[in-house]
Structure 1
C-alpha cells in the first residue's frame, strides 16, 4: 500500500456566522458511509464544520470523515468531507460486512 499523507481539505470561514447553527445529525466517533453510491466510502466522523456558499457549494453542516483502511478511496485520500444528506450511520453488522467486502 502506498504511503498516505494525512491532509485535511482546505476550508474558509463564513463571512457571517449565523446566530443559530443547525443541530448535528451525526456525532463525533460514529461510523458512517456514503449511501447513494455503489461501493461508497466509509469511516468515522472526526469533525464537523459549518460552511456557507462562499467556501462551499452548499450551506450547512459538513462532516469530516476519517476513512477506514478498507474504504475504497483510502489509497488516494485519508479524510473526506461529507454533506449531511449524503451519509448514513453504520450499525455494527453493516460495518463488519463492509470491512469484509473490501479486504
Structure 2
C-alpha cells in the first residue's frame, strides 16, 4: 500500500465560541467507526477541536480520526474529521471483524 501523507482536512473557526464547550464523548486513542454509511471508515481518535466544518455549517466538536490501514478510504486519505453524531466506539471484536473484512 502506498504511503499516504498525513493531511489534516480543512476546518473553519466558528463566528462565536460559547463560554462552555460540550463534553467530549470520545477519548484520544479510542477506536471509532462511521456507522451511518455502508462500508464506513474506522480508525483512532488523534485529536478533537471545536470548530465549524468547512464543507457545511456544522458547529461543534469534531474528532480527527487517523484511518486504519485497512479502512476503505485509506488509499485516498490518512485521516478525516468526524462529527460526533456520525461515529461510534469500536470494541476489540468489532475492530478485528472490520480489519478482517477489508484485507
Same fold, TM-score > 0.5, yes or no = yes
8 Å Cα contact 1:13/1:55 also seen in 2: no
Question: Structure 2 regions of 5+ residues with no counterpart?
Answer: none
Partner of 2:74 in structure 1? 74
Per the normalisation by structure 2, the TM-score is 0.91
Deviations along 1:30-79, whole A, 9 cap, x unmatched?
Answer: 00000011110000000011114788521111100000000000000000
Indicate the SS of the match to 1:14: coil
Query: As a proportion of its length, which structure holds more strand?
Result: 2
Q: How far apart in 2 are the matches of 1:11 and 1:54?
A: 5
Question: Structure 1 regions of 5+ residues with no counterpart?
Answer: none
Q: How far apart in 1 are the matches of 2:54 and 2:35?
A: 27
Partner of 2:9 in structure 1? 9
Aligned residues: 103
- The CA RMSD measured in Å over matched residues stands at 1.7
